[in-house]
A and B are shown apart, each in its own frame.
Chain A
Amino acid sequence: MTAIEPQAATRNACKLCAPLGACMALRGVEGAAPFLHGSQGCATYIRRYLISHFREPVDIAVSGFSEATTVFGGRDNLHSGLKNVARQYHPELIGIATTCLPETIGEDVGFLLHEFDPGGDSELRLVHVSTPSYRGTHVDGFHATIRALVEQLADGGTAGEHVNVFPGMVSPADLRYLKEVFADFGLEATLLPDYSETLDGPQLDEYQKIPAGGTPVEKVRGMGRARASLELGRTLAESGTAAAFLDSQFDVPRRKLGWPIGVLESDRFFAALAELTGRPTPEKHVKERGRLVDSYVDAHKYVFGRRAIVYGEEDLVVGLTAFLAEIGVQPVLCASGGESGRLKEAVTAVAGDAADDIVVREGMDFATMGEVARGLAPDFLIGSSKGYSVSRDLDIPLIRVGFPIHDRIGGQRILHLGYRGAQQLFDAVTNTLLARAQDGSPVGYSYL
């Protein structure tokens, strides 16, 4: 393979801009309306992107910059936009995320919000987060928003019995699963964000201005009084996260774990819950683990030695790598559009013996991935639907997980976490490989 000159352009990006992550996080707060301070198109593009994955209405307001706004500042648009959203949506909270435009013209959004008077005896809360799209990715926007919510809402006081959980950008199905696990442990947990219902809701006969569900604002306030914070994501920064803030501001001890994907990472997660609650892992989950390991044994030969390309959000990539390594699949490329600087270390920490043969790439795009992949002889890809063009070019299967899934339905229902999520992933990987072998066989065995 000839050396590839560093590209100035990003070709088929494996990331999105920060305001998208902000909007997704804000959908996970009860009664919250996401609001972008920027151009009309930012809200519309992000809405469409989220709608295409979640297949739910996603209303995102925007101040709507014009030429005049760009020259004279966005104060009037911001204020009138907030008033209109308050009037139409009656939110409990408006989360204001900036886009690249106000950040570039140097707008002091914090000050403009301070000046804002919603009128009447409104209890409306405003939370502001800076998410210029030239800094970081959608994942950074997501975490910055969680941090902003906690920083601007949480208060201290006598410690309670509850625990904070920051799950990261997981699926609605993952959030529902986490809540079930906490309930089974009898653990009182505040999950932030929680879009398990707001981005995966039922049929209605009235349009809900703000979909029901989400973490109540009161609970976010109470996060400063929790007895511990659990944050999921091995590539999260040591400082700057919501849990780090609560630790330094309110002495809420913080514990960082990987996304519980696969047996080993899930074991660590369940052990942490057992320790926090003083209870053993509930029988139901012990049994799920038992069945999972049993299935690993049943199918180990179908997957052993197969080579996978893993891509997407960094913490997802780390979790999937842990899972693939423990079933005997060799991850050959672990790639992300994110640039935390911590991906390699995290991948190495979970990959065990497989670590030596993994190419880890941050800041990668899909065009480069396609070029690099040719030399790696992969058997399949695992990641979002955006890898489809690579999978098609290489003529290898794509197993769709994470975000976004734009060419299949049910992205919001994919369960990745815990023993149950690993079971689904394992069955998907195994059956994809079996189907591939079956379809490619001239004999057409009907009994495998």
Chain B
Amino acid sequence: MSILEERKLQVYRKGAEPLQLDCNKQSVAGSVSQRACVFCGSRVVLYPIADALHVVHGPLGCASYTWDIRGALSSGPQLHRLSFSTDLREMDVIQGGEKKLAKALSQLIDQYHPKAAFVYSTCIVGVIGDDVEAVCRQVSAAKGIPVLPVHSEGFRGTKRDGYRAACEALLQLVGTGSTEGIGPVSVNILGDFNLAGEVWMIRDYFEKMGVQVVATITGDGRVDDIRRAHGAALNLVQCSGSMTHLAKQLQEKRGIPFKRVSYFGIEDMAQALYDTAEFFAPRCPGIVEKTAELVSQELAVVMPQIALYRRKLEGRKAAVYVGGAFKAFSLVRALRQLGMSTLMVGSQTGLREDYEELRDLCDEGTIIVDDSNPLELSAFLQEKEVDLFIGGVKERPIAYKLGVGFCDHNHERKQPLAGFLGMLNFAREVYNTVASPVWKLTPRGRKREMARELS
């Protein structure tokens, strides 16, 4: 396989030499990157806020492609699952889309009664010169709810810049609500999107520990909770890429400390709870013991079953390619827990420090790749002869076409994979794909069978 000259520094094989990996840059033209755009980054972060109106300002495509595609659940309103677009046409492009946007917002707010509205700018909005901020201000004044512009023009950077734009919009909300009733042992959960109800599981753990959860940002998110999020004593940040900006800003402006956590895999999940307990220990005696008890109770339920899966999966090989590198750390550890090694790992938007951590975590010979593409990924899967590929919808057909098992760890999944129970689900998911008899019928499977018979 040939790797494009411009991309050679974005692929690293762990060996004796130190990490050399180029990252956090614009995708190479024509490389068929698996990445999306700034808009996608913003939309991903804000989407789960269920009582807000999400209006995509631009031609139709961007709204259509993001209509109800995620498993981000809400315990109440379902407004986030609708797709609203100003559907700009040729005449709007010529004459400007401000009037149409104002009218659309006004009608939709009257119709759906949201608690706030987010207005996402797509590529051409900046180019045709619409003053989206002014329209938002005007509608906000008329309707009495926050109407927040999200500067998410697709070309203005990468998905990571979209996360930042979303955090900026959220920062407009945080601090505008009352903090009454918020105690000293309280957190905000940042960077969990409540896929398949994951944030409910996590919230439940914290509540059992005696920790109050003020706002879940943005999984099962509510505008009013976000408005009072500044009352929490600690921010717990998962998915480092998407929410770190918000956490840093809240630390800087409001003095709220934050901790990076992950809820994937037994080790990381337990660590997240222990870190939180430790933080509150001085003001909440007994919390560490309570947490230890909780963890051991949860483990007692899932570990015996996980052990059964481990017996079946031991020695199998995996490849991982995900959006943010932080999730990759957890996955490498979780796979190890199942007795599996990760021979290729990559991400769309990792930073240098992320890849350094990945390097330390991985075995010799592991391929580490930034901003990869189908030709590279398919070549890596074949070279490493993996049994499993973990990724999202765009990675799935690459695995399947080559007769490799696949586990969806992206936003479309409908299976909770976080928390202790999530680890059991993960083990089952991995087992269900790796152990399926269908592989025996595929060209790759037949080759393997023949090789086995010969040896």
Binding site for B on A (CB under 8 A): 5, 7-13, 15-17, 19-20, 35, 38-49, 51-52, 55-67, 69-70, 77-78, 80-85, 87-89, 99-101, 104-105, 132-135, 137, 201, 203-207, 209, 367, 386, 389
The CA-CA distance from A48 to B395 in the complex, in Å, is 10
* B124 CB contact (under 8 Å) in A7, A13, A49, A101: A101
Q: B397 on the interface (CB 8 Å rule)?
A: yes
Contact A204 to B124, CB < 8 A, known contacts A7-B107, A41-B39:
no
Residues of A within 8 A of B61 (CB): 16-17, 19-20, 42, 45-46, 100, 133
Q: Which of A7, A40, A104 contacts B35 (CB 8 A)?
A: A40
Which residues of chain A have C-beta atoms less than 8 A from B93's C-beta?
100, 104, 134
Q: Give the residue name and chain of the A residue nearest to B158 (CB).
A: A40
Q: Can you offer 23 A-B residue contacts whose CB atoms are under 8 A?
A: A15-B64, A16-B65, A40-B37, A41-B36, A44-B34, A44-B35, A44-B37, A45-B40, A48-B393, A58-B397, A64-B28, A66-B155, A67-B156, A81-B29, A81-B30, A88-B32, A104-B93, A104-B127, A105-B127, A133-B59, A134-B88, A203-B442, A205-B443
Judge whether B447 is part of the interface by a CB distance below 8 angstroms: yes
- Any chain A CB within 8 A of the CB of B33? yes
Contact B85 A9 (CB under 8 A): yes
Asked if B108 and A88 make an inter-chain contact with CB atoms under 8 angstroms apart, the answer reads no
Residues of B100-139 contacting chain A, CB below 8 A: 100, 103-104, 107-108, 123-124, 127-128
Interface residues on chain B, size class: 35 or more
List chain B residues, Cβ under 8 A from A206.
382, 402
Provide the B1-28 mask, 1 if CB < 8 A to any CB of A, else 0: 0101010000000000000000000111
Q: How far in angstroms is the closest Cβ of chain A from B404?
A: 11
Task: Given contact pairs A13-B85, A46-B65, A70-B123, enumerate 15 new A-B contacts (beta carbons under 8 Å).
Answer: A10-B86, A13-B60, A13-B87, A39-B123, A39-B155, A40-B37, A44-B34, A45-B66, A59-B375, A62-B30, A69-B155, A70-B127, A85-B30, A204-B402, A209-B375
Alpha-carbon separation in the docked complex, A448 to B49 (Å): 48
Contact of B30 with A45 in the complex, beta carbons under 8 Å = no
Chain B residue at minimal CB-CB distance from A211? B401
Please give the residue numbers on chain B whose beta carbons come within 8 Å of chain A beta carbons, in ascending order: 2, 4, 6, 26-40, 55, 58-68, 82-90, 92-93, 100, 103-104, 107-108, 123-124, 127-128, 154-158, 373-375, 378-379, 382, 393-394, 396-398, 400-403, 442-444, 447
Contact: A100 with B123, CB < 8 Å? yes
Q: Is there an interface contact between B393 and A12, defined as CB atoms closer than 8 Å? A: no
Asked whether, in the complex, the Cβ of A52 is within 8 Å of the Cβ of B32, the reply is no
Taking CB atoms, residues of chain A closer than 8 Å to B86 are 8-10
Distance in angstroms from A320 CB to nearest chain B CB is 22
Q: Is the CB of B36 within 8 A of A104?
A: no
- A20, A40, A105, A205: which contacts B402 (Cβ < 8 A)? A205
A38 x B29 contact (CB < 8 A)? no
Minimum distance in angstroms from A134 CB to a CB of chain B: 4
Contact B127 A44 (CB under 8 A): no
**CB <8 Å contact, A55 and B59:** no
B394 CB contact (under 8 Å) in A51, A63, A69: A51
Q: How many angstroms between the C-alpha atoms of A56 and B396 in the bound complex?
A: 9
Instruction: Output the least CB separation between B158 and chain A (Å).
Output: 8
Residue from B33, B68, B124, B127 with most neighbouring chain A CB atoms (10 Å): B124
| B103, B154, B396: the one within 8 Å of A42 (CB) | B154
Would you call B40 and A44 a contact (CB within 8 A)?
A: yes
Min CB distance, B414 to chain A, in Å? Answer: 11
Q: Kindly report which residue of chain B lies nearest to residue A205, judged by CB atoms.
A: B443
**Taking A40-B33, A45-B40, A101-B127 as contacts, is the C-beta distance between A13 and B67 under 8 angstroms?**
yes
Report which of A10, A58, A99, A137 forms a contact with B85, defined as CB distance below 8 A: A10
What residues on B are CB-neighbors of A8 within 8 Å? Answer: 86, 100, 103-104, 107
> Chain B's nearest CB lies how many Å from the CB of A97?
12
Question: Among A67, A99, A389, which residue has its beta carbon within 8 angstroms of that of B68?
Answer: A389
Who on chain A is nearest to B99 by CB?
A8
Bound complex: CA of A132 vs CA of B128, how far in Å? 14
Which B residues are CB-close (under 8 A) to A99? 123
Contacts of B157 in A (CB 8 A): 66-67
Chain A residue at minimum C-beta to C-beta distance from B393:
A48
Chain A residue, CB-CB nearest to B152 = A41
Residues of B contacting A81 in the complex (Cβ-Cβ under 8 angstroms): 29-30
With the chains together, A107 CA to B381 CA distance in Å?
A: 39
Contact between chains at B32 and A43 (CB < 8 Å): yes
Are A56 and B32 neighbours in the complex by a CB distance under 8 Å?
A: no
Nearest A residue to B63 by beta-carbon distance? A13
**Which residues from chain A contact B442 at a C-beta distance below 8 Å?**
203, 205
Known contacts A11-B82, A51-B396, A133-B59; A64/B29 CB under 8 A: yes
- Residue numbers in A under 8 Å from B68 (CB-CB): 389
Q: Which residues of A lie under 8 Å from residue B396 when comparing CB positions?
A: 51
Q: Which residues of A contact B38 (CB under 8 A)?
A: 41
Known: A9-B87, A16-B64, A17-B59. A88 touches B398 (CB 8 A): no
* Complex Cα spacing A74 to B396, Å: 31
Shortest beta-carbon contacts, A-B, top 7: A41-B37, A17-B61, A81-B30, A84-B30, A81-B29, A207-B378, A9-B104
B161 nearest CB across to chain A (Å)? 10
Q: Which of A13, A20, A38, A47 contacts B83 (CB 8 A)?
A: A13
Residues of B within 8 A of A47 (CB): 394
Residues from chain B with Cβ under 8 Å of A15 in the complex: 60, 64
Q: Which of B55, B61, B83 has the most CB of A within 10 A?
A: B61
- State whether B36 touches A45 (Cβ < 8 A): yes
- Given that A8-B100, A9-B107, A47-B394 are known contacts, is A80 also in contact with B84, CB under 8 Å in the complex? no
Given contacts A44-B40, A65-B123, are A11 and B84 in contact (CB under 8 A)? yes
- Residues in B with CB closer than 8 Å to A201 are 401
A444 to B358, CA, bound (A): 59
Give bound CA distance, A35 to B31, whole Å: 11
Of A5, A9, A55, A63, the contact of B30 (CB 8 Å cutoff) = A63
Residues of B within 8 A of A41 (CB): 36-40, 62, 154
Please measure, in the bound complex, the distance between the C-alpha atom of A63 and the C-alpha atom of B123, giving whole angstroms: 14
Chain B residues with CB below 8 A from A10, complex form: 60, 63, 84-87
What chain A residues lie within 8 Å of B33 (beta carbons)? 40, 44, 62, 64
**Pair A57/B397 contact, Cβ less than 8 Å:** yes
Bound CA–CA A52/B396 (angstroms): 10
Q: How far is the CB of A195 from chain B (nearest CB, A)?
A: 15
Q: What chain B residues lie within 8 Å of A209 (beta carbons)?
A: 375
A40–B27 touching, CB < 8 Å: yes
Does the CB pair B447–A205 fall under 8 Å?
Answer: yes
Q: Which of A17, A67, A78, A134 contacts B64 (CB 8 A)?
A: A17
Given A40-B154, A61-B30, A135-B90, are A56 and B59 neighbors across the interface (CB < 8 Å)? no
Count chain A CB atoms within 10 A of each CB in B65, B88, B378 and give the residue with the most: B65
- What chain A residues lie within 8 Å of B35 (beta carbons)? 40, 44
